[in-house]
Structure 1
Amino acid sequence: MCGIAGIMSAERSVNAQAVRAMTGLMAHRGPDGAGLWEGANGRLMLGHRRLAIIDPTPASAQPFVADGVTLTFNGEIYNYREIRAELTTRGHAFTTEGDAEVIIAAWRQWGEACVEFFNGMFAFALWDTDKRQLFCARDRFGEKPFLYVRGVGFFAFASEFKALLALEGVSSVIDTPRLARFLTVPADGLDRGETTLFPAIRQLPPAHAASIDLDTLTMRSTCYWSGQPAPEVRHLSAHDAANTFRDLLTDSVRLRLRSDVPLGSCLSGGLDSGAIVCLARHELGESVPYHTFSGRFPGTSADEGAYMESIAAATHPIRHDIAPKPSVLLDELAQFAWANELPVDSASQYAQYCVFRLARQNGVKVLLDGQGADEILGGYEQYFTAYLRGGGRNSPLIASRYGDALTQVQPWHAALPTGLRRLLARSLNKGSDISFGLTGDVRVERRPPPANLHEALRRDALDGFLGTLLRYGDRNSMAHSVEVRLPFTDHRLFEFAQGLPAEQLMGDGETKRLLRQAMNGILPDMVRLRWRKHGFVPPQVNWLHDGLLKAVEQVVEDPSLSALWDRRWWRSAIRRFHAGDTTQAAGLWKVLATEAWRAHFLEPAARQHKFQPLL
């Protein structure tokens, strides 16, 4: 896990000071070292910040150069040992024990198809001297960022927005309508496609690779993976499917336990993180110390302590807990906003930020986490609608376990134009839709509802909010120089689940049915058979009462409040919250978080010293 940056020019020399500044702004991503490489007679510079995880010796420092190829790489290739063994049989020799050298050898062996062999999270740029070509690639789910700018006479890339915004000519102006859409419908995300919230900055989409020609800066981009269902699993029995899935997930965990530095797991008390901790303990054995890190909310319904205890009793980890507090959040709001770079949709991301810091404070640089299981395996109760629409069998268990999952009816006013809905809401002093508190009409892309469960999962996993959740995980972990690995985003699991009948994913009123069956006898039943999903969500209403609401009031009354917000509406929302209307909590958080982002990221990024990319 690292920070990468670089600038390529068609004609002029690259300003080395600019690349140093870019990597310096990402020192948190790689505090273990920095590197700069110059090539193509000064027309190309690659920068790197190192977080040493695999082969932490100086020999593996980056940018890594071998056989006329130079690499700057962020992430991990988990199956690098298997690829290395294959390449050795094909005549390649290695001088290090790390995965960077494996990427270069794979490039020399298979060219652009090398990415198809990688099981990992990665974003990298590779310069081939002979081909005069820069090859860039990003992992299948987009766990690692690859942001870039195509300027006048240059191409620049980096792991974070702040690095690119340090370049002269790269504007910090944002796409306000897109921000408004994200605030209104977070599932549409800010991480879909090539565009970003900053029109001047683009991103390489997940599962894409790109080649940039040195002389013309022409960019050719291709998608190398589309998550096609595994055809051979369609006719597996439920028993065989569960066993096969358990083997795949176990192997995914095994690969992600490879580390030359201390590692552990996040433990929320849920099915996903609990499964990972149980499988990790089985792989490591009882004698190996294994750390878990948890966020707790004592005295509230959001606390998952009892479920954590049941998992700990079965796995005997070294436990570390933290109880995030709203007062500390306010003290750290500036650092939190600077680290995240874009507005944060939920207070749960601050709790995640605290858990990752706790790991670093205890000397653990690598964490396994359960992110991605819900979107890949059907973990949300709203998926039952798509399940039934696609022909899934109804069951009384759906209604008894998940309450309103099937009875959520759109109110009559939902079909009205936004302006009229806003007028009614303000006249009646009712409603919690955040769009009522925005100054302009928000045009939201209304995609047709998914035809079946598989389509719903594919949409959310590959083109929905999962991408935003992965960005949160990247920024919150990297803020504390911690690498987070996600066993459920192994592409083999997605292909397997997509190939199974829907009944094996959500039949008989079970969310994540496949995982529940696969973990029978491994994960305590108290967790495995828990039907209502809680999730890692702080008690946001309590937090507002404990200090956040006062901060929201100050933001709403601040003369510099963004023109995005309707001040009168939020004054009313605050009064309604004081009167006991807790439906306003999510919107009040978004006002606070978005204004904090403007004050502590957007404005500082615009004010920072700018560097000319070229000499």
Structure 2
Amino acid sequence: MCAIAGIATLSAVNQLAVKAMTDLMIHRGPDGEGHWLAPDGSLCFGHRRLSIIDLTDRASQPMQDASGRLTLTYNGEIYNYKELRAELSGAGANFRSESDSEVILEAYRKWGDACLDRFNGMFAFALYDAKHDRILCARDRLGEKPFLFAEDAGFFAFASDYKALLTLEGVGPDIDDNLLAQFLVTPSNALDQDRNTLFHDIQQLLPGEKLVLNTRDLSFNVSSYWRPLSTSVLSGVPAKDAVPAFKSLLEDAVRIRLRSDVRVGSCLSGGLDSGSITCIARDLVGDTTDYDTFTGRFPGSDSDEGTWAEIVSTASGTRSHNVFPTGEKLVESLDTFLWLNELPVDSTSQFSQWSVFEAAKNAGVTVLLDGQGGDEILAGYEQYFVPYIESRRRKGEYDPAEEKAIRDRYPLAFSERDQVWKRRLPPIPKKILARFLGRGTSAILSLDWKNASRVREDLAVQPDDLHAALRGDAFTGFLTTLLRYGDRNSMAHSREVRLPFCDHRIYEFVRTLPVELLMGDAETKHILRRSMRGILPEPIITRWGKQGFLPPIARWLEGDLGDLADALFKSSDFSKNGFWDTSWCRQSWNRFRAGETSLAPTIWKVIITQKWRDLFLTRVSEIDRFSPHG
């Protein structure tokens, strides 16, 4: 896991600009830095290294092949690098290191751009081919690693972080307020799902995309090298075979993600996803090796997962570490939290995740396996029962008794469908009605009239087909945003997070399954529950009411975070702000303090978004700017 940066020009490149870019990303790679300048001076690559595989200098980057034709700067991990290395060695390739970085170089030499089809991993990289005057840039299939880029007046630049690009002249910090407003209302469809980003001058590769840059004229083309099928293709695998096949895939996904020359552990909540990964990993590393798990705790609240996490930790024999995020700690860390997250976050869960990675750093564990992606890929949210039932209905398999069983076990499973009219009410009538009644908790009500009128709430409406809903959330929806959070929060503490459920083989296999294998028997993640019998403790497998990693935000707003909110809403700068409906925000704060705790999530969004504007945007506008040209 590392940071990458680079600038290509039509004349001479400013090496100091690339150095400034990598300096801003030292948290991503504290173990070393490197810079490479092309012989003609028109191209410069930069790199910050977090040493994971092959800790020697032979694995440093930017890395060239033996001939000097190919140069690579790369962030991520190719988990199947050992298998690829063996295949390439058999075809005559000679390796000078034990790194996965060199495997990318030799794979490109052998297969060209088709090497991307061979990689199982998370990655963002730029590979310069001097023979063909081209740079191949790529992002992994599900978008675990970021690839940001900018172009202007004779240069093309790329980086892992926004702030790195914003240090360049020609790349300004102006933002798209419409996108920001949309994010507040539908965080699953705003900042991470389109080529354009929140910053007008910065674009991004989307999951499964590559960009080929012609270094002679800086023209480029973006295309997809991998996309999930738009419709599911059923494999016809019998249920009795599908469960062991899935189990085998998951075990192998965990196995290759345990490859590391530094310590590996797991993030552990009390849920099915992280519990499954922890138990599988513990079995694979063996009883003679210590294995650490890290759990966020909220004692005294319904959000506390400590009891459930302890069940998994005790059963698997891990060495458990508990961390206790609080509102006070959030306020203390707010400047750094916002600076390193770079974009607004939609809930306090992201600070809890930040705290877990901080605890791992303090314990000396560099690599962490995590259950992210399980919900979006394996149908883990109870609202997926709506498209599940519709899928069954279209096949002529609808059973009222099945829907009743679902409603009995998951009382809120159909609540969004039953109240869909609320999202379809246009924003302006909704704001008028909320003012008249003195009610309402939707984030759309916090926006001024102009911004509210441009927001669409119906973007969050689920399709009526389960596979379509999962494809939308996993490939072009909220998982992409959750992966950004995981990347930024782990990198903030120089930790690497690895996600077995995001193995593309699992994703592709699940797309071939009938929906009843995903949500049958009134169970979310049905196939995972079946495959974990005898591996995961039974109380975890049959825990139906598992909630997300949600801190007690209402309680946090009673302490230092509440003081921060109070000061914000009273400030004259907030009154002059043209983004918010300041009257509604202040009234809502008063309603919350009078006992309407359901307003807490919306109040949080106002606080964190405004503080992001005050802290991140102000700070990034004050950093030194460098011309990309020498």
State TM-score, norm by structure 2.
0.95
Q: Is the 8 A contact 1:230 1:495 kept in 2?
A: no
Shift of 1:445: 7.1
Equivalence for 1:567: 582
Residue 91 of structure 1 aligns with an amino acid whose one-letter code is: G
Residue 259 of structure 1 aligns with an amino acid whose one-letter code is: S
Q: Quick one: distance in 2 between partners of 1:306 and 1:342?
A: 33
Equivalent residue in structure 2 for 1:403, among 400, 411, 421 = 411
Range with bigger deviation, 396-405 or 467-476 = 396-405
Equivalence for 2:107: 106
1:52-451 aligned at under 5 Å gives the runs: 52-66=51-65, 67=67, 68-228=69-229, 234-391=235-392, 393-394=398-399, 395=402, 396-408=404-416, 409-410=418-419, 414-439=423-448, 440=450, 441-444=453-456, 446-447=458-459, 449-451=462-464
Q: Quick one: distance in 2 between partners of 1:109 and 1:65?
A: 15
What's the C-alpha RMSD, in Å, of the aligned pairs?
A: 1.5
Change (3 A) 1:340 1:407: closer
SS of 1:591's equivalent in the other structure is helix
Shift of 1:416: 3.5
SS of 1:47's equivalent in the other structure is strand
SS of 2:103's equivalent in the other structure is helix
Shift of 1:560: 2.0
Q: Is the counterpart of residue 581 in structure 1 residue 596 in structure 2?
A: yes
Cα deviation, 1:166-219, whole Å, max 9, x if unaligned, reads 001111000001100010111213101211001100001110111100111111
Q: Is the counterpart of residue 9 in structure 1 residue 22 in structure 2?
A: no
Residue 48 of structure 2 aligns with an amino acid whose one-letter code is: R
Q: Is the 8 A contact 1:32 1:49 kept in 2?
A: yes
Q: Quick one: distance in 1 between partners of 2:202 and 2:446?
A: 28
Q: Quick one: distance in 1 between partners of 2:145 and 2:347?
A: 21
Shift of 1:470: 0.3
Equivalent residue in structure 2 for 1:540, among 541, 553, 556 = 553
Cα deviation, 1:113-153, whole Å, max 9, x if unaligned, reads 11110000000000111111111000001100000001110
Change (3 A) 1:230 1:336: same
Q: Is the 8 A contact 1:39 1:45 kept in 2?
A: yes
Cα deviation, 1:297-332, whole Å, max 9, x if unaligned, reads 011111111111111111111111110111111011
Shift of 1:221: 1.4
Q: Is the 8 A contact 2:463 2:469 kept in 1?
A: yes
Equivalence for 1:472: 485
Q: Alignment length, in residue pairs? A: 614
Q: Quick one: distance in 2 between partners of 1:229 and 1:425?
A: 39
Cα deviation, 1:385-411, whole Å, max 9, x if unaligned, reads 011111264413201111031244227
Q: Quick one: distance in 1 between partners of 2:63 and 2:423?
A: 56
Equivalence for 1:525: 538
Q: Quick one: distance in 2 between partners of 1:282 and 1:73?
A: 31
Q: Quick one: distance in 2 between partners of 1:412 and 1:484?
A: 39
Q: Is the counterpart of residue 600 in structure 1 residue 618 in structure 2?
A: no
Shift of 1:339: 0.8
Equivalence for 1:459: 472
Residue 609 of structure 1 aligns with an amino acid whose one-letter code is: D
Change (3 A) 1:231 1:555: closer
Shift of 1:354: 0.5
State TM-score, norm by structure 1.
0.98
Q: Quick one: distance in 2 between partners of 1:33 and 1:404?
A: 50
Q: Is the 8 A contact 1:302 1:537 kept in 2?
A: yes
Change (3 A) 1:544 1:457: same
Q: Is the 8 A contact 1:385 1:406 kept in 2?
A: yes
Shift of 1:344: 0.8
Cα deviation, 1:450-501, whole Å, max 9, x if unaligned, reads 1310000000000001111000000000000000000000000001111000
Q: Quick one: distance in 2 between partners of 1:330 and 1:57?
A: 39
Which ranges of structure 1 fall in alignment gaps of 5 or more residues? none
Q: Quick one: distance in 1 between partners of 2:147 and 2:572?
A: 36
